[in-house]
């Protein structure tokens, strides 16, 4: 069996695990400092102009991370609550994972 087929099978199993976990873990309540929360909201509010041309893998990953930040900004805008100098918001576990992955 070639590596490609083995990896495809692995991806299928990983997706099946994700399907089972999704109903168990959906949102996580987090607290973010005001400056970070406001930066995320600004990413959501930002207008992007132009299309996407040829991208390197690194450029694609950076754009994907920027999109994840914008989704966090939307969540804060829609359902976040300000508690002093922090925003409290329930984030989708995928958004939390994206932020943790970017931190590494």
> Is 86 a residue whose pLDDT tops 90?
yes
Kindly write down the DSSP assignment for every residue of 36-83, as one continuous string: HHHHHHHHHHPPP-S------HHHHHHHHHHHHHHHHHHHHHHH-EEE
What pLDDT, on a 0 to 100 scale, did the predictor assign at position 47?
87
Map residue 72 onto helix, strand or coil. helix
What pLDDT, on a 0 to 100 scale, did the predictor assign at position 67?
93
The pLDDT of 32-51, averaged and rounded, is: 92
Distance CA 32, CA 23 (A): 25
Residue with the larger pLDDT of the pair 19 and 74: 74
> Is 63 a residue whose pLDDT tops 80?
yes
The band of 1, judged by pLDDT with boundaries at 50, 70 and 90, is low
The band of 45, judged by pLDDT with boundaries at 50, 70 and 90, is very high
Nearest to 70 by CA among 36, 47, 44: 44
- The per-residue pLDDT of the chain, averaged, comes to 92
| % of the chain surpassing 70 pLDDT | 97
Domain residue limits, the chain: 26-103
The pLDDT of 29-57, averaged and rounded, is: 91
* Residues 33, 38, 39, 43, CA torsion sign: positive
The pLDDT of 81-103, averaged and rounded, is: 95
Distance of CA 55 to the CA centre of its chain: 20
């Amino acid at each position: 069996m070639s590596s490609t087929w083995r990896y495809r099978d692995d991806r299928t199993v990983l997706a099946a695990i994700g399907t089972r976990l999704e109903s168990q873990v959906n949102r996580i309540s987090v607290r973010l400092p005001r400056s970070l929360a406001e930066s995320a909201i600004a990413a959501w509010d930002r207008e992007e102009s132009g299309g996407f041309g040829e991208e390197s893998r690194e450029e694609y990953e950076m754009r994907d991370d920027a999109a994840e930040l914008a989704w966090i900004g939307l969540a804060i805008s829609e359902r976040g609550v300000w508690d002093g100098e922090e925003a409290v918001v329930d984030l989708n576990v995928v958004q939390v994972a994206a932020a943790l992955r970017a931190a590494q």
